[in-house]
Each structure stands twice: as structure tokens, then as C-alpha cells.
Amino acid sequence: MSIGKNTAYNIVGAVVPLALALLTIPIYIDLVGIERYGALAIAWLILGYFGLFDLGLGRATAQRIAALKHGSAEERSDVFWTAVVVNIGMGLAGAVILYFAARYFFEVQFKIDENLRPEVMQAVPFLALAVPVATLTGVASGALQGREKFLEVNAVTIIGTSLFQLLPLMIALYYGPTLKWLILGAIAARIIGLLIFLSRVHKNLLAGITPRFDKSQWLALLKYGGWVTIISIISPLLVVVDRFLIGAMISAVAVTIYTVPFEIVQRISLLPRSLGNALFPRMASATAEESRQLSRRGLSIMSLLITPPVLVLIFVIGPFLNIWVGPEIAEQATPIGWILLLGYWINAFAIIPYSRLQAMGRPDLVTKALLAQLPFYLIAMYFGLTHYGLLGAAAVFSVRCLIDYVILSWISDGRPQMSKIMRYCALIVLLSVLAIVYLPGLSVQWWAAFLIAGLAVVFAAMRYMPADLKPLIAKFAPAFLMRRIRFR
């Protein structure tokens, strides 16, 4: 299966549930009420956090099974069953801890109408039950990713997520909005998704093989997963700490002005994550030289994948914010959005060495790189906010993305990689930001700059993309471009 197809499957698998959530949230609020939906949303946040009791075993399973691409079916089966046994233990421990933590939070800390509190408390045991279901789903999904079954992974994910959104909605519609039954319906959807995942794992990995716990595997899986768990704690912290500092140092209003463009720009990270996940199993089973070549190819593909949406956002974020949140907020938020776009454009390329290091079995190096950045990032963010306000915070975030890419590239390949197409795309993105600063929105000059930037990306892609990708792009390019562009 090609990397391009796997990336496309990952994108669809992420976009469809997001679109479904956007469609169903207003219906939920209308059916169950604002307060019940708030309690439901907090319940999902708690469950998402306690997904850490997966301890990175899903990613560890994907890495080990991918690395055993040319190994025996029995070896891959042993990895899966060993991960399942360890994961069940961790999931049950997480369920017990969640039960007592959620009881305390909902009984003592959570502010809700006292008439609804008994409903919330009745739902807590079911919420705890969902932890081992979620962690086992991660292992099953990781096993299929390790075999590059991305079509199946995303098809099952879409089915499970759709049921997760729709089944509680149907319960609320036909039987009433009692929280206990809503949460039980959502857990039933998760169990159905898990069972489908397990059936696909059985077909692709386990059929005809006796289940066996391999003592030699469990410690390696836990060690790898432990580093991944630390990454999953530190990495989000580097993304959200700026808003906590803005709230503490400036104001809640400033948080809103900064968060509005951040939430829009952040969505483009879906694309690089999809490519990184598609490359991961291929890199895990490759030799050192093959992995290096995949990394370089991945950077070129990333240029083609991420630059067009970033350019579109550079030009439209100002007019969009003006319509969406009004001119007062848009005037302050738009320059922040431009700077953040530069950061997320750079951050997309960091996904490649990040995925390569994990595929090589060295998530510890990624963790150490993130930990090394954290104190300097906090100091720089404080300095940026103190002297330059919200623009300073956005600039520090984007510089941190650049430093992250340089460090991870240096660790994984000995030096940062910068292909020709990356350099040209970087120049186009920078010039677009500089141009749009001085152009009135939706003017003739604005449209001209937008068109020129788009054509520049097309020409850069056709001239400097990897040779094996040229026929694919040429297949869809207009004939007049093909007559005028000389491939190098």
C-alpha cells in the first residue's frame, strides 16, 4: 500500500468524526440541555486523560509489529497478546483510579444543579468501565497500523466514532436525557468498535496461531510505551502553556484574542500527523539507509501537503475572522494568526524526524529533546509576553517549532534536512506573509498576490518534487503547464 493512500485514509479518518461532532453538538445541547451536556463533556475529558493508562502500548505494539515485517506470524502474534495482557492490567488500574477520582470531582468540586448531581454520580461506574475498553482499542489499532492496514483502521475508527456520537443521541431522543444511559450508550459504541477492531486483528495477525504471553517482550513494550507516555504529557504542555501564561500575565480577554486564531491554525496539524502515521510502520521495518531515504522523501511530500492550506489561511484568515468574530477581535487576532501559521508550517516538518525516531525504537530521544526545550521555552514565553504581548507569545511559539525541527532532525539524521522544494516553499510562505501585511483584504492586489503565491507553489512542486512523484502530479496537471515546465 502506498504512503499517499495511507495518508489519505488517515486524513479522512480524522475529518469525518470531526465533522460529525460539529454537526451533533447543537443537537445534543438541544436534547439534553446545556448543563447535562457540560457534565457529559467533562466526563469525556476525564476519560481522555485516563487514556494515558494505555502507557503508550498502542504505539509500542505498532512499532514492534512493523519491525517484525519479515518475521514470523507467531512472533507478531506474541507481541499482540503480550501487549493485551499488560494493557488489561493497566486499564483495570486506570479504571479503579478514575472511579475514585471522578467520584470526588463530581461530588465535591463540580458545580452543577443539585437535582442533576445524582445522575452524574450514577454514571461514574460506567465511566470507569470505559478505561480498559479505550486502552485495548489502542493496542488493537496499533497492531493493524503495524501491518499498514490504514484503510481498515480508519474505517473502523469512523464506524466507532459515529456510533459514539449517534448512539447516546438516539437514547436521549427515544428514552430521555439521563446521563447514566447516555454514557452507557457511548461505552456500548466503544465496545462495538473494539470488537470490530479485534475481528480485523484476528484476520490479519492471529488466525490459526495459539495465543501466548512472551516474557521477553513485555518489558521492552513497557519501556517503549513509557517514553511515549511522557511525550504525550510534555508535548501538549508545550502547546497549551502559552495560553495559561497569557491568562495569568495579561487577561482573560487576551486569552480569547490569542485562542481564536490558534484554534483555526492548529487544525492544519491534522495533515502532517496523517503523513507521519503513514510513514511510521514503513520506517520501523526499513534499514537505516531506507529510513533515511523515506525521511527525505517525506519532507518533500510534506512540502506539497502542508504549503497550499497554509497559503490559503495566510490570505483568508483576516477576512474570515472579520466575519466570524467581528472587526474588533479580528484586527488584533489576524497578525497573531500569520505568525502562528509560520510556526505550524515549520512544525509539520518536525513530524518526520519525530516519527522516524519513534520508528527506530528511540522515543526516549524525542522525550529528552522535548524536556530540554521546556525550561527555555517558558523563560522565552515570559520574556515575549512581557516585552511584546500577544505577538511576542506567537513569535516565541513559532521559534520553538523551528528549534524543535532542528533538534529532532539533528538527532535522527546528523543534520537538519532542507530539500529544494522545502526552501522554495519557505520563501513563498514568508513572502506571502510579508505581502499580506500591507495589502487591504480582498482588494485587486490581494487577489493578485493570492494567485501568484498559488502558481509559485505549483511551479516549485513541478520542478523540484521527487522524481517518482512527478508522473502522479503530471497526471492531474493542466496540459499547458506540462508543455512549459521542464522537469529537473
Q: For 424-455, what is each residue's pLDDT tens digit?
A: 788 888 888 888 877 766 677 778 877 888 78
More confident call, 194 vs 236: 194
- Map grid coordinates 454514557 to a residue: 183
Residue 290 lies in a domain: yes
Q: Based on the domain organization, do 172 and 259 belong to the same domain?
A: no
Q: Based on the domain organization, do 249 and 326 belong to the same domain?
A: yes
Q: Read off the pLDDT of residues 45-93 as tens digits, 9 standing for 90 and up.
A: 676 666 666 667 778 888 888 887 777 888 888 888 888 888 888 888 8
Q: Based on the domain organization, do 367 and 275 belong to the same domain?
A: yes
Dihedral angle, C-alpha 255, 257, 263, 269, nearest 10 °: -100
The overall average pLDDT reported for the chain is 80
> What is the average pLDDT across 245-269?
82
CA 310, CA 231: separation in Å to the nearest integer? 26
CA 334, CA 314: separation in Å to the nearest integer? 9
CA 464, CA 51: separation in Å to the nearest integer? 42
More confident call, 468 vs 442: 442
Residue 220 lies in a domain: no
Buried/exposed 200-229: b ≥16 CB within 10 Å, e otherwise? bbeebbbeebeeeebeebbebbbebbbbbb
Which residues, at least 6 apart from 280, have a Cβ–Cβ distance to it below 8 Å? 62, 63, 66, 145, 355, 358, 359
Q: What is the pLDDT of residue 480?
A: 40
CA 140, CA 198: separation in Å to the nearest integer? 6
Which of 334-343, 353-362, 470-479 bottoms out in mean pLDDT, i.e. has the lowest? 470-479
Which of 178-187, 305-314, 459-468, 479-488 bottoms out in mean pLDDT, i.e. has the lowest? 479-488
Q: Based on the domain organization, do 82 and 174 belong to the same domain?
A: yes
Q: Is the per-residue pLDDT at 20 higher than 70?
A: yes
- Out of 159, 190, 213, a domain closes at 213
Residue 219 lies in a domain: no
Q: Which three cell numbers stand for residue 86?
A: 499488560
More confident call, 49 vs 483: 49
DSSP classification of residue 409: H
Q: Based on the domain organization, do 79 and 178 belong to the same domain?
A: yes
Burial of 376 (0-12, 13-18, 19+ CB in 10 A): exposed
- State how many domains the chain has: 2
Residue 190 backbone phi and psi in degrees, to 5 = -65, -40
> What is the average pLDDT across 373-387?
91
Q: What is the pLDDT of residue 207?
A: 76
More confident call, 420 vs 364: 364
Q: Is the per-residue pLDDT at 285 higher than 90?
A: no
Q: What is the pLDDT of residue 2?
A: 65
Buried/exposed 385-418: b ≥16 CB within 10 Å, e otherwise? beeebbbbbbbbbbbbbbbbbebbbebbbeebbe
Q: What is the pLDDT of residue 486?
A: 40
Confidence class for position 400, pLDDT limits 50, 70, 90: very high
Confidence class for position 464, pLDDT limits 50, 70, 90: low
Q: What is the pLDDT of residue 384?
A: 92
> What is the average pLDDT across 474-482?
45
Q: Is the per-residue pLDDT at 286 higher than 90?
A: no
Residue 222 lies in a domain: no
For residue 451, what are the domain limits?
228-484
- Out of 190, 213, 236, a domain closes at 213
Residue 94 lies in a domain: yes
Confidence class for position 399, pLDDT limits 50, 70, 90: very high
Q: Based on the domain organization, do 82 and 10 belong to the same domain?
A: yes
Residue 385 lies in a domain: yes
Q: Based on the domain organization, do 189 and 236 belong to the same domain?
A: no
CB atoms within 10 A of CB 281: 26
Q: Based on the domain organization, do 140 and 25 belong to the same domain?
A: yes
Q: Based on the domain organization, do 299 and 196 belong to the same domain?
A: no
Q: Is the per-residue pLDDT at 379 higher than 90?
A: yes
Of the candidates 152, 168, 166, which has an alpha carbon nearest to the alpha carbon of residue 43?
Answer: 168
Share of the chain above pLDDT 70, in %: 88
Q: Based on the domain organization, do 232 and 206 belong to the same domain?
A: no
Q: What is the pLDDT of residue 309?
A: 87
Q: Is the per-residue pLDDT at 395 higher than 90?
A: yes
Q: Is the per-residue pLDDT at 288 higher than 70?
A: yes
Start-to-end CA span in the chain (Å)? 27
Q: Is the per-residue pLDDT at 468 higher than 60?
A: no
Q: Is the per-residue pLDDT at 166 higher than 60?
A: yes
> How far does Cα 107 stand from its chain's mean position?
33
- Out of 213, 248, 274, a domain closes at 213
Q: What is the pLDDT of residue 482?
A: 41
Residue 116 lies in a domain: yes
Share of the chain above pLDDT 90, in %: 7
Q: Based on the domain organization, do 245 and 384 belong to the same domain?
A: yes
Q: What is the pLDDT of residue 53?
A: 64
> How far does Cα 393 stand from its chain's mean position?
22
Q: Is the per-residue pLDDT at 375 higher than 60?
A: yes
Q: What is the pLDDT of residue 111?
A: 66
CA 57, CA 110: separation in Å to the nearest integer? 32
Q: Is the per-residue pLDDT at 337 higher than 80?
A: yes
> What is the average pLDDT across 305-323?
86
> What is the average pLDDT across 276-285?
81
CA 420, CA 430: separation in Å to the nearest integer? 16
Residue 254 lies in a domain: yes
Which of 255-269, 292-306, 394-408, 437-451 bottoms out in mean pLDDT, i.e. has the lowest? 437-451
HEC sequence for 349-372? HHHHHHHHHHHCCCHHHHHHHHHH
Q: Based on the domain organization, do 196 and 244 belong to the same domain?
A: no
> What is the average pLDDT across 328-343?
89
Among 152-161, 302-311, 392-401, the range with the most confident prediction by mean pLDDT is 392-401
Question: Do 339 and 265 contact (CB within 8 A), yes or no?
Answer: no
